[in-house]
Each structure stands twice: as structure tokens, then as C-alpha cells.
Chain A
Amino acid sequence: MSLFEQFAAGNGAKGSMTEADSNLKPASSPPPKYSEKASLFASDSDDDTMARPAKTSRPDIALQQRREWRLSQYWVHIVVLTIFSAMTRFYKIGFSNRVIFDEAHHMGFGGKYVNHTFYHDVHPPLAKMLIGLSEALTGFDGSFDFKSGSRFPANVNYTFMRLFNASFGATLAPMAYATLVSLGCSPNAAFLAGLLVCFDNALCTISRFALLDAMLMCFTAMSVLSLSGLYKYRKQPFSAAWFKWLLATGVSLGLVASAKWVGFLAVALVGLYTLYELYDLFGQKEVGIVSHFWHWATRVVALVAIPVAIYMLCFVVHFGLLYKSGPGDAEMDSLFQAGLQGSGLQNQPLDVAYGSKITLKSAHPGAGLLHSHTDAYPDGSKQQQITGYSHKDTNNDWIVKKVHGQSYGNTTDTIEFVKNGDLVRLVHERTSRNLHSHAVAGHVSKRDWEISGYGMDGTYPDINDHWRIEVVEELSKNNPERRLRTLATRFRLRHVGQNCVLRASGKSLPQWAWRQAEMVCDRRNHLDEKTLWNVENHVNPLLPPAKPSQLKSSFLRNFARLNLAMARSNNALTPDKDKFDALASSPQDWPIMRLGMRMCGWEDGEVKFWLIGNPVVWLLSTLAVVLGPIQMLYYIVRRQRGLCDFAQEKEWETHLYVSGILWGGWALHYLPFFAMGRVTYQHHYFPALYFAAMYLAYFVEWTGRRIAGSANAPSTKAVMIGLGIAAIANFLYFAPFTFGFDYPAKDLAGRKWFSSWNIYDTTK
């Protein structure tokens, strides 16, 4: 536990802090310190001497003894918090043998990794892959589909899966402790923070199921812990300890962003901190330009390159594990799907010929396949609708034919291939309508022309049925004639009559077209991705099937496409304002605990879990994050007036930094939810709560120091002890919600502290 000794080293010598600092080498220590990079993972004693050069020069027995005593105190605290965490997280973890809450999704996605079938979800893959790992470790055979509320069969070791997940949740309290110690708090305050995190019912409850949140929280805690280490060693840049924490920060950020996109809020926190630090550094005249370069370079590598690499690596593994066709295929482009086992796209004929039956896939995510059905447009031309549709059915099949008045060979010998620049007609197989456009305004995009299905194959020849193939990109080799190739050719369809291009407008048609994607003929030459198409399915009995394709889809393209699809699915999660959703809650409900959430069915005899925080932790931390800025404003106004409240300027600066990290962390993890259009849930507040709980402990200590003069004043201690006991007592009182109860909810009526809490139904 080398990291711990580092905190201890930093903190034990609080009294000597100022001397130590003044003895430090100036921050401009030139980059030649580079050699220290070799000792990045050097032993603790090495670290210690490097980090605190003042120490070795002044052996002080008393100080040494005090340090050792402190150190053992830290260890005791850490061990106690870890034991408490393990007890609260693991106790009765297998009590309910049903699939609870979002376990249905996340254990299900884990199962997809066991089965290797491709799926699509809004979250990045890391945490789900870890759940998959826990399932694989139990020897799970992938046969159970984790349907919501169903009972686990005997051969599914769900207890282990939950234990695996809960162990991530159990790391929170010790990490909160270490973070506060590292930020310069007293062990008392840090221990209080650990207790608040450990005995919060909500954080505990959410960790006890196989969900993504425990891992997300764990990585968030790791990020802020590493950040606190970075803060601690900010005066000794390029030292081994500094490098270690910088690296740890980068890695944690990569992990947290790969668990859930909410993790990017932690990235923002670290980013803002780093920018402020660099700006601060910029103001120091003694730091030279070369040194600046190294400051920037190391941060860019550690805090940008490493997280990006980890994030992308998660997707590499994700694609690598999911090599079979599955429910998520349609979100990806055709080439990717062709690479999946069982997608049926491998052995199709390569070159498209006249008479071939094809499906056309838009390069625009969300537009799907070119589709038509028997419904007509309600106004405009009132001809047959043409849309984009993501699901695969026979209404997506089109026959490539020659323009009106021309015919093509229909034997193996006379077969004629479709080439770049050819004029073609696309006939919808089911309805025999031609893909058609004319000078009639579109239905949603009124500035473009309508696309419709018209005529009965060749019965009513019309030049407006003619389209020119314009090849834009060819991925296969050896295609001298520029033939249209399945999967490999990306092309545009230009309407000859109107000189416009078939384009997915990116908008949805109204209900009369089942909200499918709108297709238009673009008059304004928007030659973007939305106008690009490729052939996905290709059937032509006259042609031999292609050899297994050598075409590989590019990772970067798949990566980009999947992330766009995730963003789109995320934005699609918009709430219906008229509808009551018992699970959803809005950001303003969270800090005041207006709502709890039922995590499962509410029958009297079943094991039930109710997601609710510990009011002592939640309400008091809310109070702290509200009072903190007011207190801050008070001091800032007095400073602006030129009134001096602090004996040492350093005290104020430290307060700014620490508040910035803790309060700023809370604000960054909370306020953005107000701006999000998507549906929000109570568990979105948990990362913010983690910061708020730590801020509460810090706020109590700092205020105590301002008022009573010392962090160890009896009154401050009394407040802290009171808070800790109250939190534990409240946790135990609410324990049935957390650990589950199998008696009627009405029996817990006394715990319905707010009328808005839905512990039991008042009406029935």
C-alpha cells in the first residue's frame, strides 16, 4: 500500500508544512528531472525522499514518532472503513433470487459477451464487459436471458455476480478517506467522510446488484483520489510521486469514461483543474518556456492520450468479443455486419447486375434501409410512401432494372453488370412501384423534393423514374470497370429529371408513415454522408456467391459509428411530459430526497428493495453545498473590501483549491443534468453525492477551524462524532430498504418521512 504512505508522509508533518515548502526546489525545476521517469514505480522510500527533500536533511525524532503514530492511525481507519464497507455491501446479498431493476439490462448485456452476440446499448462497454467477466467466472452458459423480475435458475450463480459488483462499491469509503487525507484534511474529517459514504443507504443499495453504477462510482472515486494526489504533489512536478499520480489520473479517467458517459463529467473536473493549474503556472515568471513545454506535454499524454487509448481499447475488446450476429446489427453499417458470424451477408454475389434483388443501406446512422410500403402520402402527390427503416423485412427489397424502354440479358452468359454512371430504375419488389421523384415539396423538409413510389414497373414510363449511379468510394480492389459492388461501393443516386440527390433528411415522418425516416431528393447539393448508400443484401441466382470477403471494416469507422449511435439512442430517451413514470425523477428532486424508487415488484410476500438515500447524508450534504458558497462569498466580499481574515494567504488558497475540487466536483456531476433533455433517474445523482458527502466532512472541519480555531477543538469533534453516529443510526433504521424486506411494505409505514415517498400505496 505504497499510496497510503505517501498521503501519510504528506500529512503527518502538517506543522512543518511551510518550512518544507520553502525549502523546496522552485517549481521551475528543469526537465532533466526526466531521469526520474525511470523510477516511476520505485519503492516508497524513494518516493518519500524525492517528494520531500526537506525531510532527510532534518532528522527529527519526535516528528518521526508522530508520523509513525499517524501512519498507524491511518491504517486503522482504512481497515475499519473497509470492514464496514464489506459488511454493508455483502450482507444478505443473495436475499432476492429475482432479477432486480436494471439487472435485466446489464446482466443481459453481460450474457451477450458470454454468447458473443452483437448488441446495441447507450452505455460504453467496459462495465458491461466486467459484468460479463463475472458471469463467465461463474461458468454461466449463456442460456438465461435475465428477463426483468424473473427468478434466477439454479445454475446461475447470481450471488457471485452481485458480490463481484459489490466489491467495486466497497472501495468507495476507503477511497473517500484517502482523498480527504490527501487534500490535507485531518484524520477525523476524513474518517467522517468515509463513514458518510459507507453508511449511505443509496450508495450501498446500488452497489449490491449487478448494475453499472458501482463500477462507475469506483472509477469516479479513483479519479478524484488520483487528482488529490496530483494536487498534493503539485509543488514537486516531475517527481516520481507526481508522475505516478498523473498516470493514475489518466488511467482512472479512461476507465470512468468507458463505464458510462457520465464519467466525462469527471474528465471535465480534472480538465478544469489542470487548465487552472497550467494558468497558475503561466503566471510564475521563474518557470521557463522549456519547462512549460514539459508541463503541457506530460499532461497531454497522461490526461488526454491515455484516457482516449483506454476508451478505444474497450471498444476493441468489445468488437473482438462480439463476433456473432445479434440484435444490435442494424445500428452498424453493412460492412461491419458482413463481418459478423451468421449475418448472412458473407456469401453474396459481389458485382450487382441488372435483375439483381438488393437492399440499400444509408450511410447516415438512423436512416436504415430504403423502404416502401403500400401506404400512400396523405398529401403532396398522394403516391406511395418511400421511407428509411432500420428493421430487415421484404419491403426493403429493390430490383435494379434498366431505364424505361431498355432491357437486359437474363442468362448467365448475357448478364450485364451495373457500373458507375449507369442510368437505372429501382423497382420495389413487393409493390412493383418505381423509385420516383418530382417537383413536389417534401413532407417534413419542405425545401426538397418528395420521393415516392410510382407506376407499375414499366407500365407508365416516366423519365422521373431514372437515377444515375455516382460511385463515391470503392473499398474493394481490382474493379477496373467501376462496377457496383455489394458492401464495398458507396455511391449516390442522382435523379436525372430534377438533378437532385436521394438523401435521408435526418428527420422522422409523422405517424402516418409510422415515424420512419424521411427520404427526400435534395436540390441544394448537400453532398454529405446522408446522400451515400451501399448495397447490403444482394440476391441474384445467375451469379456465383463471392468468396468469403477479404473486406475488413475499419475499426475507427466502426468506433465512430457506434458512438454516434449511442449518442442518438441517448437523445431518444426523452420523457413524455404527460406521463407519470414511477422510476424517473428530475434533478431538483434529488438533493432534497423528494422521491425514492421501487427497484422491483411490490407484492407483499416478495423481497423488495426501495432505493433511498440516508437522510442524514443527503440532506446535510445538500445543506453543506448550499452554505459553502455563501460562506465563500462572505470571505470573497471581505477580501475585495481589503479586509484580512487569514493569517497566511496559503490557508485561503488551499481552501479555494480543495473547495474547487470537492464542491466543483459536486456541481459538475449535478448541474449538467438540468440541461439534459433525456429522462433522468435518481442514481444519476450518486457521483455528485459522493462529492457532496466528502464536501460535508471538509466543510464541517474547515468551519470548525474558522470558528473554534482548530480542527481538533472539542466542539468540532463533537459535531463530527454526532454526524457519524446519526448517519449510522439512520442507516440501520432504513436498513430494510437496503437489504430487502419480504413483509408487506405497509409495516414500514413509520419510515415514510415525506408524503411523496412511495413506500406503500396510500390509495389502496
Chain B
Amino acid sequence: MTTEMADTTAEGKAQQQQKQKQLPSKDISSKAIVPTSFFHAKWTCTSTDAVLLAGVLLVAVIVRCWRLSVPNQVVFDEVHFGKFAGKYINGTYFYDLHPPLAKMMFAAAGRLAGYDGVFDFKSIGLDYAAAGVPYVGMRVLPAVLGALTVPATFAAARACGYGIDTALLASLLVCFENGLVTQSRLILLDSPLVFFTVLTLTAWSMFWTKQGRPFTGEWWLWLLATGVMMGCAASSKWVGLFLFPAIGLSTVGDLWDKIADRSISPTRWLAHFMARAVGLLAVPFAVYVFWFQVHFMLLHTTGEATSMMTPEFQTTLRGGLNVSTDRDVFYGSEIRIRSSNANSGYLHSHTHNWQHDKGSGQQQITIYGHADENNLWIVEPAFNTTVDSSQGPVKVPTGTKLRLRHKTTGKFLHSHDKRPALTSDDQKFELSGYGFPGFAGDTNDDFKLEILSGDKNQVGSSDHVQAIYSRFRLFHPNLQCSVYNSRKKLPKWAFGQIEANCMRNCLPRMSTWHVEYAHYPNATTEEVAKAQYRPLSMWAKIWEYNLLMAESNESLTGDHPFAARPQHWAWLRRGTAYWGGRGHFVYQLGNPLIWWTSLAAVVLFGLVRVVLFLLDKRQIAASMGGQRRVYLSSAGFFVLAWACHYVPFFLMGRELFIHHYFPALWMAILVLAFTLDMLTARLPHVVRLSVYVVVAAAVLHVFHTFSYIT
């Protein structure tokens, strides 16, 4: 064994025990509740290790790639991710609530395998073979990534200071975990995610083996590798972000210990601090931004999902929104009014009426996503007032009362003391189209246009309405309410369009509007000033996309039949049916033996930690047969990481699936291996090995039993 552990010798044990007796509070691992610093093992890869690494990789590749072509149909979320790969290949813009890296990897794999982006992965069970899709090539990517996690597990265990036997056991447990196997045989994002998560923590463990020689090349290599891998994990799925608290807490703990180390000068400490800030925060951030940049470069052409983005975003896409409109809005201009807050569309009306029993029965006012004739409005002076346009068109200043006449039906935008269709809130009023030939209208047609903000670079956009540049609200003085975008879908009788109503005490949050198209019909031939959306910068695009992702994540509250809450994951209470047909099934289910025992190992760690905590407080020495430091620091870190990848899910309201547990599962498996090592450390070597063999055999047996649905 090349692993050197300072206190495996009898002398070391005695020393340690004595030390604990005297200065319990100075011992790092016994001070913190969860020890954040690893044991400083000094592992360097030997030829034995190299052979074993290659060996486990081979086994893992065979297990992951066995009958990879079955089933030859679209399985579960391949529906989405296969389709997205096609979009990358075609360059059509799409939106998804996950970051882009893993999807781009599938696109690359598809491209290499010869996928042309035509097949649309429309529904589960569609036949690949018939459509000639090189799906096996695409599935090889997750399989290889999944297989690589196995040698990585071996390395991580070795780097934490464990022997070849324990490292082998850990990698076998990962290799024969049915859930991880299923997940890495399909075109799903979890295999890349787990891969990057595992590599992050392996690199982090390696980094710790270089603790004795800080700022050397290898030290930097592993630090930066951790950062890059962590960035990639976060760029695959946001679950990767949970690595940050795990590694962050461990770093804070380490830096805290370094303060006490008088041999480290304050300047050197600052260097340590900065190195980690760069490696573990700046680098992952740069990686994340980089992949988004690639994402936007690949998706250069407008697609179906474009309408979800702001107009400023859309103008950056080829074939996207290309607005060029008259800048100034005059009395008599035809305008199209867009909701500035949510990308729901334009203020709209059509020749259908509100229902009589629950509304006024007057013409409907809605918000509609597509530009058509029915969302053109004509600016007219307020009821009983006139504007003299004989000297040329008159601009519309802020704070004036005006009326908006619907161009195709001639009705005025109107509000009155009636409840809107979708609420009984007495602070909200119905909007309707009102008026008929020969009727002059009334004061309920009047709206006060108040500009909330103008464009800094456009002189006068805060004083007079300018298309695109002036953001305003439409205030109804009689009812003291503002035109409001409720973002609620109306029923079928209003064609599922979005509701607009007039709301009192309304914040600008959802009641800001702007003119997207303006045209003065009697324009003289003179050149008129034009207005355009300003295309977004890369940073603004990334920011907008990420905000949208956060929003969609929050609102993902369906009732999927196979959704599972986190309290059921660790018990493996239920799996997810992925695919079924012709007597075969693919059912996402873990290896129960591994799931249950790894959970038990985590719980055991918690108990041991609490007992030690109390014993230390009582100043009773407990060295756990010399295993204490290695076990507490290594298992402690992975339990911390496990908790970071598991506990936050309890706070999430969104729909969750068992595959969200996989990163945490990998950490629990390592804890399991470390625990077995700790428990058998004092047994004779033969006994210990036979325990390992029995465990491995049992796991293999269970794997085999469940392998038919894997």
C-alpha cells in the first residue's frame, strides 16, 4: 500500500489518544460537527492502481453497454432530450428549463453518429429503427460517461486514504447499481450530471492529497479541475449547484483551520483564500457562462419557443422579431400595445362578447400573442374633447386622458364596475369594448396614459409617447384602476387567450405596457423617425434565460403518476416506469440492497458523530481503534455532500422524480464503503476480505435479479 496514514501505527494511535485527552478542542476533526477537512492522505497512482482502474472500467463498460440497442424505441424523457439534440443540429431556437451542456453533448454525439435532426422524438414508444435514427450512437455517450464514474469512484476512495480492497468494493457498488445503470443507458441528462458530479468530488479528493504541497502544479491542476468539473455539472442540470455548498463548507472549514496554523502568514493565508475563490467560484462561473455562449451560438435561428422570450431577446435570433416602426405616437396613430412584463402578447379584442351571466356581455378584451389586425388600436382624444391636428400630427404627452378605439370593430376600450371573468376580487374590474354607431361614448372610455419610464438615449421618450422606448400604464380615472395583465388563461369561449382586466392599487410589475407598432395614416411624405428594439448583450441573454429557467422550475407542479417526493427516495419506495412494450419493461428502480445499506451507513455516521460529540464534550477519549480521523473526515465530507444533494429537495414544491437522488446516492455509496472499512478495520485480513466478497456477491445477485427491468 502506498497510502500512508500517520496513525495506523500503534505509536500513532497512542499518540493520538494521548493528544485527545489533553487537548480535545484542538483536534480538528472532533471540533466541527461535520468535519470539513479531509484526512491528508498522500496517494499516488501506482501500476497496481492503474491496472485495477482499467479493469473496473472494462467491467463497467460491459455492464453499461450490454444490449444498449434495446429497447429500440423512444423511452421516457428521450422525448425531450432527443428532440433538443435535433434542434441543436438544425440550429433552431428552443427553450428548456435545464442548462445546455448535457443537451449539447447529446447533440454532438448525435451528429457524430449521423443523426440529421429530422426525427422529432414526438412520443414515448416511437420506433427508432424504422426512422433510421442512430440512437445507439447517441446512447453510447451516457453509457461511456456512466462507465467512467466507476474508475473515478475507485480513485476517490483511494484519494481519501482507503486501501485497494475498499476502493474496489466502492467501485463495484457503483458499477452494479441498477438505477445508475438504467439512467446511463438512455438519452437523459442525469448520466452527464452524475458523471460531472463524481469527477468534481474525485478531483476535490485528489486536491486534498496535495495539501502538503500547496501552490505546486499538481495542486493547481486538481483545484482547477474541481472548478471546471463543478461548472460543467451546474451547466448540465441545476442539481449540480448543490456541489457548491458541499465544497464551499469544506473549504471554509479548511481555511478556518489554517487561521490557527501559525506557520501560515496572513499574506499566505490570503493567497490560499484567493486561489480557492478563483478555482471554486470564478472558474465554474466562467465555465457556466461559456457553455451558454456556445448554446446561443448554436441556436441562431428562430423557432417555436421564441415567443417566450422578450422582444429584445428575439431580435438577436436569425429570422426573429425584426421590428421597425414609426417612433412617435400621434393622435390618430394606429398602434399595437404590448405587455412589457410577461411575454404574453398584445392588447386584443375581437367580435366575441363576455358572457352575460358573469360579465357585462360587452365585447371581450384579451391579451393575444400574435400580431394581427385585431390588436390595432387608434389613439383618440378623451370623451368630449378634441385635438386639433390641422397643423400637423399632435404627439401624445404623458398624463393625458385619451381613448383607444379598436380598429376593426370600432369599439372603445372601456371599463366599468363589473367583476372580470376570472375573479371575484372587488379590486378588479372588467375591461370591455364598448360603443356603437351614433353613440358618443362616455367617460368610462377614458384612460390616462402615464409614462413610467423612458429610454435614456431617446430624448423626449419620458414626456411624449414613443413606440418601444416609452413604458407606460393605462390608468382609468373613474375607477382608479390600471390595465393589468393577469397572466391567467381564459376559458374556451375566449379562445384560451390571456385575461386583461383593470386593477386597483396595481404595481407596475404586471401593468406596464409599450407601443410596439405605430403608424400615422395621414403621414406626410417626410422621413419619419423610426424605433427599434435594442438587441440584448450576451450577459443580458444569459440572465434572461436563467430567470426564465428559475420561473419554470418553480411552476413545475404537475401531477405526474410516477413523481415521487424526497422522503420516499432513500427508501426506494417506488421507481419510475420508463417504457413498456412487447413483454419488456424499463422501470427505473435502484438496487435495493445498495440503497438501503447506504442509507443505513449515512444514518450510522450521524449517530457516531453525535455520540463522539457528546463524549468529547465530556472529555472521554474515543479513538475508534485509530479509525477516527480517517472515517470522520472522509465519510464526514461525503455525508455533508449527501445532505447538500438531498435535504434541499424537501423544500422544493416542484414535481420531483427518483432520479433526482442519484448524485446523493453516489455519495451515500462511498459512505457505505468507508463504513464497511471502518467496521472491519480491526478484523483479521482474511475475515475482512471475506466480508467484502460476501457483500459484493449479494449486490451482484440483487443486480442480476433486477437486471431484467434495467
Instruction: Spell out A's residues near B (CB within 8 Å).
Output: 279, 282-283, 285, 378, 444-447, 511-512, 514, 577-582, 637, 640-642
Whether A578 touches B507, Cβ cut-off 8 Å, given contacts A447-B561, A642-B260, is yes
- Closest residue of chain A to B491 (Cβ to Cβ) is A378
The reply to whether B510 and A446 contact each other, CB–CB distance below 8 Å, is: no
B residues in contact with A581, CB < 8 Å: 505
A-B contact pairs, 30 of them (CB 8 A): A279-B617, A282-B617, A282-B618, A283-B618, A283-B619, A378-B492, A444-B559, A446-B559, A446-B561, A447-B559, A447-B561, A511-B423, A512-B491, A514-B424, A577-B507, A577-B509, A578-B484, A578-B503, A578-B506, A578-B509, A578-B511, A579-B503, A580-B505, A580-B506, A581-B505, A640-B256, A640-B259, A641-B260, A642-B260, A642-B262
C-alpha spacing A537/B561, complex, angstroms: 38
Task: Point out the residue from A279, A578, A637 that lies within 8 Å of B510, measured CB to CB.
Answer: A578
B residues in contact with A511, CB < 8 Å: 422-423, 488
Give the top 9 A-B pairs by smallest Cβ distance, nearest first: A446-B559, A580-B505, A283-B617, A578-B510, A640-B259, A580-B507, A511-B422, A640-B260, A578-B509
A residues in contact with B491, CB < 8 Å: 378, 512
A residues in contact with B559, CB < 8 Å: 444-447
| B-side interface residues, number (CB < 8 Å) | 25
Instruction: Spell out B's residues near A (CB within 8 Å).
Output: 256, 259-260, 262, 422-424, 427, 484, 488, 491-492, 503, 505-507, 509-511, 559, 561, 614, 617-619
A residues in contact with B260, CB < 8 Å: 640-642
A to B contact number (C-beta, < 8 Å) = 50
Closest approach, in angstroms, between the C-beta of A746 and any C-beta of chain B? Answer: 21
The reply to whether B259 and A579 contact each other, CB–CB distance below 8 Å, is: no
C-alpha spacing A279/B614, complex, angstroms: 9
- Closest residue of chain B to A637 (Cβ to Cβ) is B259
C-alpha spacing A282/B506, complex, angstroms: 57
Closest approach, in angstroms, between the C-beta of B92 and any C-beta of chain A? Answer: 32
C-alpha spacing A365/B695, complex, angstroms: 50
Whether A641 touches B259, Cβ cut-off 8 Å, given contacts A279-B617, A282-B617, is yes
Closest approach, in angstroms, between the C-beta of A585 and any C-beta of chain B? Answer: 14
- Closest residue of chain B to A442 (Cβ to Cβ) is B559
A residues in contact with B256, CB < 8 Å: 640
- Closest residue of chain B to A577 (Cβ to Cβ) is B509
C-alpha spacing A378/B493, complex, angstroms: 11
- Closest residue of chain B to A512 (Cβ to Cβ) is B491
A residues in contact with B614, CB < 8 Å: 282
A residues in contact with B262, CB < 8 Å: 641-642
C-alpha spacing A641/B503, complex, angstroms: 60
- Closest residue of chain B to A640 (Cβ to Cβ) is B259
C-alpha spacing A447/B559, complex, angstroms: 7
B residues in contact with A378, CB < 8 Å: 491-492
C-alpha spacing A579/B507, complex, angstroms: 5
Closest approach, in angstroms, between the C-beta of B602 and any C-beta of chain A? Answer: 24
C-alpha spacing A642/B260, complex, angstroms: 7
The reply to whether B505 and A582 contact each other, CB–CB distance below 8 Å, is: yes
C-alpha spacing A285/B614, complex, angstroms: 12
A residues in contact with B509, CB < 8 Å: 577-578
Given A282-B617, A582-B505: 12 more A-B contacts, CB < 8 Å = A283-B617, A285-B619, A378-B491, A446-B561, A511-B423, A578-B509, A578-B510, A578-B511, A579-B503, A580-B506, A580-B507, A642-B260
Whether A285 touches B507, Cβ cut-off 8 Å, given contacts A511-B422, A637-B259, is no
A residues in contact with B484, CB < 8 Å: 578
- Closest residue of chain B to A283 (Cβ to Cβ) is B617
A residues in contact with B506, CB < 8 Å: 578-580
C-alpha spacing A478/B491, complex, angstroms: 54
A residues in contact with B422, CB < 8 Å: 511
- Closest residue of chain A to B619 (Cβ to Cβ) is A285
- Closest residue of chain B to A582 (Cβ to Cβ) is B505
Closest approach, in angstroms, between the C-beta of A673 and any C-beta of chain B? Answer: 17
B residues in contact with A577, CB < 8 Å: 507, 509
- Closest residue of chain A to B487 (Cβ to Cβ) is A578
A residues in contact with B505, CB < 8 Å: 579-582
Closest approach, in angstroms, between the C-beta of A510 and any C-beta of chain B? Answer: 9
B residues in contact with A579, CB < 8 Å: 427, 503, 505-507
- Closest residue of chain B to A279 (Cβ to Cβ) is B617
C-alpha spacing A279/B619, complex, angstroms: 13
Closest approach, in angstroms, between the C-beta of A663 and any C-beta of chain B? Answer: 21
B residues in contact with A582, CB < 8 Å: 505
Which of B259, B484, B506, B511 has most A Cβ within 10 Å? B259
C-alpha spacing A447/B509, complex, angstroms: 36
C-alpha spacing A739/B437, complex, angstroms: 59
Closest approach, in angstroms, between the C-beta of A371 and any C-beta of chain B? Answer: 17
B residues in contact with A282, CB < 8 Å: 614, 617-618
A residues in contact with B617, CB < 8 Å: 279, 282-283
Closest approach, in angstroms, between the C-beta of B580 and any C-beta of chain A? Answer: 18
Closest approach, in angstroms, between the C-beta of A322 and any C-beta of chain B? Answer: 30
C-alpha spacing A444/B557, complex, angstroms: 11
Closest approach, in angstroms, between the C-beta of A594 and any C-beta of chain B? Answer: 15
B residues in contact with A641, CB < 8 Å: 259-260, 262
A residues in contact with B259, CB < 8 Å: 637, 640-641
Which of A512, A579, A637, A640 has most B Cβ within 10 Å? A579
Closest approach, in angstroms, between the C-beta of A378 and any C-beta of chain B? Answer: 6
